[in-house]
Structure 1
Amino acid sequence: MKVGLIGFGKAGSAVAHVLNEDPRYSLEWIATRSGSPSSVELGGASIPVTALDRETLADWLDLHPVDALVDFSNAGAAAVYSTEVMRRGLTLVTAISSYDEEQLAEIRAMGEHAKVLCSPNITVGINFLIMAARLLREIAPFADVEILEQHFREKPEVSGTAKKIAEHLDVGGEKITSMRLGGIVGHHEVIFGFPYQTVRLIHDSIRREAFGTGAAFALNELRHCANGFYTFDDLLMKRVRAQLMQP
């Protein structure tokens, strides 16, 4: 599968390395805001870099066709590529956490013409944690719930993933405790307090390459899906249902 990557910051760079090393995918190009440098070296290969521009994107895709786009840039990028995603039926995996309602509606609309996955945190582990936490919350709605999130010192805002966990568990933001320590990439912990036991569900992102393995998983799962808008939950539940069907 030929892939174009949008965004080459800390997360995008890590994702690029993972996709470039995965034999299932061919990283064809990287799009950034500035389009510079003109190329980057990954695993001995020179990957071309272009500026993400609505006026030139169609011509770029004609010259450098891909099957899928992976977006680790910013919420505004979708407006640049949405027309081409729908016109060409490109698979889209976006890991942007800051879409507003209008932008999210645009992402959903792309699913009418393409396979689209939108997941603010695209690591397999954190999405499995959320699924397990939702199940335990349903089994034991009487249990106390607290959410702990830890990140690197420079991260100012409350983790979007922690907010998503709270939303899924139907608890308020006051149940989230945030800590900023050194260079922690990401730690999320959901604590269930029972009368005579405690359950802790923990996920640690050790390196940002975890985002790349999540994107690679999503691309592979979307191969077997029809056009539509998907969340990471949808892909995981498909796997869970298949596992439960086995004798």
Structure 2
Amino acid sequence: MLKIGLIGYGKAGQAVANVLQADPELELAWIARRTGQESAPRADAPPPPIVGIDRLADPDWLDRHPVDALIDFSSPAAVHRYGEAVRRRRLMLVSGISAYSDTDLAYVRSLGEDARVMSSPNITLGINFLILGARLLREIAPHADVAVIEEHFRDKPEVSGTARKIAESLDIKDDDIRSLRLGGIVGHHEVVFGFPYQTVRLVHDSIRREAFGTGAVFALRELAKRTGPGYYSFEDLLVQRLRSQLLAA
């Protein structure tokens, strides 16, 4: 059984915690959050203890609360608090942070020199299948018009990191991303290919944030199969899994 430490306990983090706690092969050992408000588990309920994120920089605390892997759904700055613990202890790391700066991402990549690390702005299985399909169609029809549409909840201020990743993977400009903010939308991404006599739409909708949890668990299990350190995107893990399935067919 893998012991997991979850970093971040906002809406996405809480949904990921639900998935982790429902999986009989995983143990959610503790949750770290930015506020620093700590609480012990209640006697009448299963949730693990919640601690301040600064605890992760304390080797003695990690000695007393060891884990095999960290899953991060907090903020871009958090990795600088726990990153050296990942490096020293060779912990597996699954990061679902969508807004790393170039400096932050370079640091996350460097952790892959000593540990098994996966980082992706969106780690739902569906959105990564969408990206693979869109890249294939882009290669087949390089002259088609392409636009990316992203729709999210009203309070999301920035263009989604997932939409930017889709645009980058298709070699199109950020100006070709269309954004919409409305209440009631968790997350919608769509790639539209315009041909002279037809259109093709690839669509992914996030119905519940637990989709992030199932993606995180997939990534964690794929990392666990690797015997040495390395840095991976979600797409890397998915392509390798598809390749192994095709070779076995």
State the TM bucket, normalised to the shorter chain: over 0.9
**By how many angstroms is 1:44 displaced?**
3.4
Partner of 1:211: 212
Partner of 2:182: 181
**By how many angstroms is 1:129 displaced?**
0.5
What code does the residue aligned with 1:8 have?
Y
Partner of 1:202: 203
Q: How does 1:57-206 map to 2 (within 5 A)?
A: 57-206=58-207
Partner of 2:230: 228
1:97-122 deviation digits (Å, cap 9, x = unpaired) = 22112211111111111100001111
* Counterparts in 2 of 1:181 and 1:99: CA distance versus 1, 3 Å: same
* Counterparts in 2 of 1:241 and 1:36: CA distance versus 1, 3 Å: same
* SS of residue matched to 1:142: coil
Partner of 1:239: 241
Partner of 1:8: 9
Indicate if the aligned counterparts of 1:151 and 1:180 stay in contact, CA closer than 8 A: yes
**By how many angstroms is 1:37 displaced?**
4.0
**By how many angstroms is 1:55 displaced?**
7.6
d(CA) in 2 for partners of 1:120, 1:56: 24
**By how many angstroms is 1:243 displaced?**
2.0
d(CA) in 1 for partners of 2:51, 2:114: 25
**By how many angstroms is 1:246 displaced?**
2.8
User: Which has the larger displacement, 236-245 or 68-77?
Assistant: 236-245
Indicate if the aligned counterparts of 2:156 and 2:181 stay in contact, CA closer than 8 A: yes
What code does the residue aligned with 1:192 have?
F
Paired positions, count: 247
Indicate if the aligned counterparts of 2:56 and 2:62 stay in contact, CA closer than 8 A: no
What code does the residue aligned with 1:31 have?
A
Indicate if the aligned counterparts of 1:7 and 1:30 stay in contact, CA closer than 8 A: yes
Indicate if the aligned counterparts of 2:55 and 2:61 stay in contact, CA closer than 8 A: no
* SS of residue matched to 2:220: helix
State the identity as a percent.
Answer: 61
State the superposition RMSD in angstroms. 1.7
* SS of residue matched to 1:45: coil
* SS of residue matched to 2:133: helix
What code does the residue aligned with 1:181 have?
L
Indicate if the aligned counterparts of 2:4 and 2:26 stay in contact, CA closer than 8 A: yes
Poorly superposed stretches of 4+, deviation over 3 Å: none
d(CA) in 2 for partners of 1:151, 1:34: 25
d(CA) in 2 for partners of 1:174, 1:103: 25
d(CA) in 2 for partners of 1:68, 1:27: 10
**By how many angstroms is 1:62 displaced?**
0.5
**By how many angstroms is 1:46 displaced?**
3.4
d(CA) in 2 for partners of 1:57, 1:122: 29
